Structure 1
Amino acid sequence: MEERDWSSLPFNVLAAVLEQLRWSSHPSFALSCRHWRSAVPPFYPAWITPLLLSTARVGAANLRYYSPYYHYNFEVVASCDDGGVARDAKICCATGRHLALEKTRLALDVHLVTGAVRQAPHTAYADHFDFVIYDGGGARRMFGIDAVLPLAVGYTSQIGDGDEGEWEDWTLTEYNVNGPRLRPSPVTNPVFHRGSIYLLGEHGRLAVYDPCKHAEGFKILDKPMSFGFEQYHDSYLVESDQGELMAVLFGRRGTPVHVIMLNEKKMEWEKVESLRGRALFTGTLTSMVKKTKFKWMQNRVFLPMFYKWPETIHVNIVSRDGELAFVPKSSSSNTKYSTMGDHSNGTCCEKCADVWSYKLGQQEARENWGAERVYYGVWVDLH
């Protein structure tokens, strides 16, 4: 009989082995030999970088994830199987694998993997909250913030364990017509920082709410008084992966770009010259600063604006041993299997030019003329 080695294992046996392995082990499997590589189905790790999540079209429940790394849109069809309750809802924020949506007098919690939708009880507090945010420790509490009139806040907590628990009734601060007023930056986002919620106002003022002192509501801090920069149009608040409270300021056409950090001893905003190898994802109601091993992404600020709309791939989002991956729905997909893409050499390729980004310290920033912006999207980190 002809002698055969491991490289001659039947295709169906290799496929069965792959189903038992973590997604992150597939690249090593594919490097074994050409035959083994041919058995690896096309997939795209969902954890490789933060993703821009948006709806596929207005009023639809399909979710679309844009990957800055691959420059693809991964659309998950019927990802919110909720009987229509999530349709026409506004995307508010995300934490981990949970997405918060808001409709008139209704807040929704969506699990991004299972598609399960849970709704918090209705509230007659206002027609709608201006912001909805999860707590800093996960998705166990949601806070609704009214920022148009005097600042007010309410919260609801999950009853029970796991993702099957219900949401209890809202606990609201007492409405006070003479309460604190802050003119919030129109596109900014509330941020949990050191256990409290910070809300950024125009010119750099901050309002703070301590959930442990709920009845006191928001308080406007005496300092900082201003950013110290006059030329800016949009501003976003973000807590970094190192626990720093930062703000990102953009000019009317995208430049100039300033990244500033709150010096909490002096209570003053200070200019940030380098992100120390990290990438900043902003421009939505959820912003984040993340460490990245890809050199072309380091010290770069990403905004959800495109010069060329990326290709859309219809996928299933599959969980295996805690890891998530986008798997094309059609096995005949012409997309290439890749875990390192075109950036494995650490350089910036032509794809990077399709999404608006700014590298700190660059002398000439590309303006965003002709770019198309994604509205009602949020950055999510599915790591």
Structure 2
Amino acid sequence: MEDYSSEDDWEHRFEEKEVVKVQEDPEDNKRDWTGLPSELLSEMLTNLHHPQARFFFHKVCKYWDSIEDPKHHCPLISPTLQLQSQWLVHKDTYFGTFCKFFHPFYPDRYALHDIPDLAHTVLLHSNNGWLLMSRGQKTLFFINPFTKERVDLPETEHSFGEWKSAIFLSDPTSPDCKVFGVVSFLDNWAHFFTIHRGENSWVRHIFSDLSPRMFQSECHPVFHNQKLYCLGKHGGMGVFEFNPEAEESKYSVHEVLCSPLEDETFESYLVECEGELMAVFLSYMGTKISVVRLDEERMEWRKVESLGDFMVFISVGTSFARKKTVDGMENKIYFPRLSGDYTVFYCLATERYKTFGNNFCQKDLYETREQLNCCWTEPSARTSTSPQQLHWLPQHA
């Protein structure tokens, strides 16, 4: 079969061949597009990789709109091959030893099996392709699910219950890596642990009698302008000023004006976008959603009408904003939820929850499946790691 990969090739083809005019049947102009076989339409959809092209395909007619995307229209060998892409990583069960990856655009899934270190763990956070895992009250460690490399952190000396949330800065093999852990957070009491690469023990920070009172959101804190910001469930903000050179760190709670949903807030997420803090507030099942940015000078939430060329990925463990990688993916918020095999997003332009693959289009998140024990991640193009780098404490010859 001849291959014509561009419009110029097709034009050249018709220049070489004799064009024979045939008598047209007037009935041909009245051909019913709904009469095309579903197998042919499915094959056509297979070759449409651009989000807008697939969107308009479904708008041709009701019959075309009913055609489901083939589940393997873009086979992916491994997330590491898509280094500029974002993936939702999901650890199936607490006892399990494998994790699954979901792409926000394609319906493909990729599973990594037989990782014994994942057994009896909870996924806390991801950065540079590494996962931060907790096992029980005292044990935290990093693992790279693609290489199965592991970096162990020193155990904590206190029993405090389960880790509420945690983040880490920089690759865990980097000398700049820091870990911030939140172990409990009451309305007037906060409890943090911090550790820097090379340190053999955690530093404990306890703050009590906080005012005004604030219940922290379930989402992870965000490190911004050398401070750790903890979002309150209803829009308040806790600010942890960590200074390793000072004897004591500081923690302050701020009331933020113009709380978006107030008492209706069921979920809330904090993310940094273009040097500003942004938050997403949702009522139960997303029947109401508010996207706002923080005016730090006035400590006031301001409504965001559009994300421009940015995409926002939110989850309890990891949230971040990135510039679009494919036209059509911008100005959307991607959730840790699925409709069928497709990742659910909220489009700010249409004010609807949708997917890139099926017919899902709603004003709420009903009939979607939330993925628990998961977070967004970005595979890293990191070079090989030396054995010394896998030790948290310095190794002496």
- Output the TM-score relative to the length of structure 1: 0.68
| Conserved? CA contact 1:49–1:69, under 8 Å | no
Matched residue, 2:110: 74
Equivalent position of 2:35 in the other structure: none
**Equivalent-residue separation in structure 2 for 1:364 and 1:382 (angstroms):** 29
Conservation of the 8 A alpha-carbon contact between 1:253 and 1:368? yes
Q: 2:237 aligns with which of 193, 203, 206?
A: 206
Q: Which is further off, 145-154 or 292-301?
A: 145-154
Partner of 1:59: 95
RMSD: 2.3
**Aligned partner of residue 234 in structure 2, secondary structure:** helix
Shift of 1:291: 0.5
Matches within 5 A, 1:188-199: 188-199=219-230
Instruction: For 1:132, give the aligned amino acid.
Output: A
Match of 1:318 in 2: none
For 2:196, the aligned partner's letter is S
Q: 1:148 aligns with which of 167, 182, 185?
A: 185
Which amino acid in structure 2 is aligned with residue 368 of structure 1? L
> Which runs of no fewer than 5 residues in structure 1 stay unpaired?
1-40, 160-166, 311-353
Which whole-Å CA distance do the structure 2 matches of 1:246 and 1:218 have between them? 23
The alignment status of 1:232 with 2:220, answered yes or no, reads no
In the other structure, the counterpart of 2:343 is: 355
1:371 aligns to 2:359 (yes or no):
no
CA contact under 8 A between 2:76 and 2:108: conserved in structure 1? no
Contact 1:81–1:116 (8 Å) recurs in 2: no
**Cα deviation 1:50-84 (Å, max 9, x = unaligned):** 11011144411212111112221111122x354xx
Report the equivalent of 1:343: none
Q: How does 1:17-28 map to 2 (within 5 A)?
A: none
Alpha-carbon contact 1:153-1:217 (below 8 Å) kept: no
CA contact (8 A) 2:239 2:252 kept: yes
| Contact 2:104–2:343 under 8 Å retained in 1 | yes
3-state DSSP of counterpart to 1:151:
strand
Measured in 2, the distance between the counterparts of 1:113 and 1:42 equals: 14
Q: 2:379 aligns with which of 373, 378, 382?
A: 382
- Judged with a 3 Å threshold, the aligned counterparts in structure 2 of structure 1 residues 363 and 224 are, in CA distance, closer, same or farther, namely closer
Query: Is the CA contact (8 Å cut-off) linking 2:112 and 2:145 kept in structure 1?
Result: no
What is the Cα deviation at residue 282 of structure 1? 0.6
Report the counterpart of residue 359 of structure 2 in structure 1. Answer: none
**Match of residue 116 from structure 1:** 149
CA contact (8 A) 1:233 1:252 kept: yes
Count of matched residue pairs: 284
Which residue identity lines up with residue 65 of structure 1 in the other structure? F
Match of 1:298 among 304, 327, 330: 330
Alpha-carbon distance between aligned partners in 1 of 2:337 and 2:164, rounded to the nearest angstrom: 23
User: What residue number does 1:97 align with?
Assistant: 129
Instruction: Return the match for 1:257 from 289, 296, 300.
Output: 289
Looking at CA atoms only, which structure, 1 or 2, has the larger radius of gyration?
2
Give the C-alpha shift of residue 260 in structure 1.
Answer: 0.6
Q: With a CA cutoff of 8 Å and minimum separation of 6, indicate the structure with the bigger relative contact order.
A: 1
Q: 1:177 Cα deviation (Å)?
A: 4.8
Q: What is the rounded CA distance, in whole Å, between the counterparts of 1:197 and 1:95 in structure 2?
A: 16
Q: Is the 8 A contact 2:133 2:141 kept in 1?
A: yes
Cα–Cα, structure 1 residues 358 and 179, in superposed 2: closer, same or farther, change >3 Å? closer
Q: Is the CA contact (8 Å cut-off) linking 2:88 and 2:374 kept in structure 1?
A: yes
Farther off after superposition, 221-230 or 201-210: 221-230
Other structure's SS at 1:155 match: strand
1:147–1:225 distance in 2 versus 1, CA, 3 Å: farther
Q: TM-score, length-normalised on structure 2?
A: 0.66
Aligned counterpart, 2:14: none
CA deviation after TM superposition for structure 1 residue 168, in Å: 2.0
TM superposition outliers: structure 1 runs of 4+ over 6 Å: none
Q: Is the contact made by 2:333 and 2:346 (CA closer than 8 Å) also made in structure 1?
A: yes
Identity of aligned residues (%): 22
Aligned counterpart in structure 2 of residue 128 of structure 1, from 151, 154, 162: 162
Q: Does residue 318 of structure 2 align to residue 286 of structure 1? A: yes
Q: Any idea what SS the aligned residue of 1:295 has? A: coil
1:363 Cα offset (Å): 4.5
Secondary structure of the corresponding residue to residue 148 of structure 1: strand
